[in-house]
Amino acid sequence: MDLGIKGKTALVLGASQGIGRAIAEALAEEGANVVLVARNGEALEGLAADIAGKHGVEATPCPVDLSDPLAVTAFCTRIENEFKPDMLVNNAGGPPPSPSTGVSDEVWHNSTQMMLFSIVRVTEAALPAMKARGWGRIVAVGSSGVVQPIPNLAVSNTIRGAVAGFLKTLSAEVAGNGITVNMVLPGKIETARLGRLDSARAEREGKSLEEVRAASQAELPIKRYGQPEEFAKVAVFLLSDAASYVTGQITRVDGGLIRSI
């Protein structure tokens, strides 16, 4: 299948590692140019050189801290005037694990800034170029917690629900402009973040990391963690021309983790 994104430009947030990185690489494999965003500029430089060398596309490192409102404002100016993306991948880190109460103001504010407010502003900045072309694709990386709140991830569960509401509302507003907006929910994808969450659980429960990983994988119908590349393939399809009639949807890539229909 021709995905129809060769030569188009994708802005990929949270691109230095994990799920975002896998999406950036999969887009480049399809011939798309990529703008790579995260805080670690050195990692982005290395990744950009690697992607450009391997796939013969343009790969531009763009270090930004999405929890810093001033940095995001400057970044949005670059999006509107310089990057003018055809595709946008909304993604970043996740908040630290915690129950619903006792979370500091700092964690609530920083997490909301990074995961919601920045996403709103970046999306707004990306829309004019998409509207001008009559074609655009927005995919956000969410979490299974959008459908079934995850114990001890209260901040994530809360903010991601708000992001889902924003994206669903937006999807109807821009569908007539040839722009689709979708969310993809990871279940348990093997990345540094999943490693940190498993380590925290091991410490909480007084178990070894291996015990926690084994039990966690045994709970999944598919009996294993997912790989970032498996997640990326679904995201890239939704970012492609081939997915032209899919919008406002929430797609799970979770090996069957969520049991409800």
Ligand X SMILES: NC(=O)c1ccc[n+]([C@@H]2O[C@H](COP(=O)([O-])OP(=O)(O)OC[C@H]3O[C@@H](n4cnc5c(N)ncnc54)[C@H](OP(=O)(O)O)[C@@H]3O)[C@@H](O)[C@H]2O)c1
Please, which residues have CB within 8 angstroms of residue 227's CB and are 6 or more apart in sequence?
Answer: 22, 189, 190
For ligand X, which is the closer residue by CB, 174 or 253? 253
Note whether 228 and 18 are within 8 A (CB): yes
Tell me the one-letter amino acid at 27: L
| Interface with ligand X (CB under 6 A) | 14-20, 38-40, 43, 64-67, 91-94, 114, 141, 143, 186, 188-189, 191-194
For ligand X, which is the closer residue by CB, 158 or 174? 158
Give the end-to-end CA distance of the chain in Å, rounded to a whole number.
29
What is the closest distance, in whole angstroms, from the C-beta atom of residue 118 to ligand X in the complex? 8
Q: Using CA atoms, how far apart are residues 57 and 67, in angstroms rounded to an integer? A: 29
What is the closest distance, in whole angstroms, from the C-beta atom of residue 136 to ligand X in the complex? 22
For ligand X, which is the closer residue by CB, 10 or 19? 19
What is the closest distance, in whole angstroms, from the C-beta atom of residue 110 to ligand X in the complex? 8
For ligand X, which is the closer residue by CB, 46 or 53? 46
What is the closest distance, in whole angstroms, from the C-beta atom of residue 218 to ligand X in the complex? 16
Burial (CB count <10 Å: 0-12, 13-18, 19+), residue 91: buried
Q: Using CA atoms, how far apart are residues 31 and 159, in angstroms rounded to an integer? A: 33
For ligand X, which is the closer residue by CB, 45 or 80? 45
* Per-residue tokens: 137: 């694709």
What is the closest distance, in whole angstroms, from the C-beta atom of residue 54 to ligand X in the complex? 19
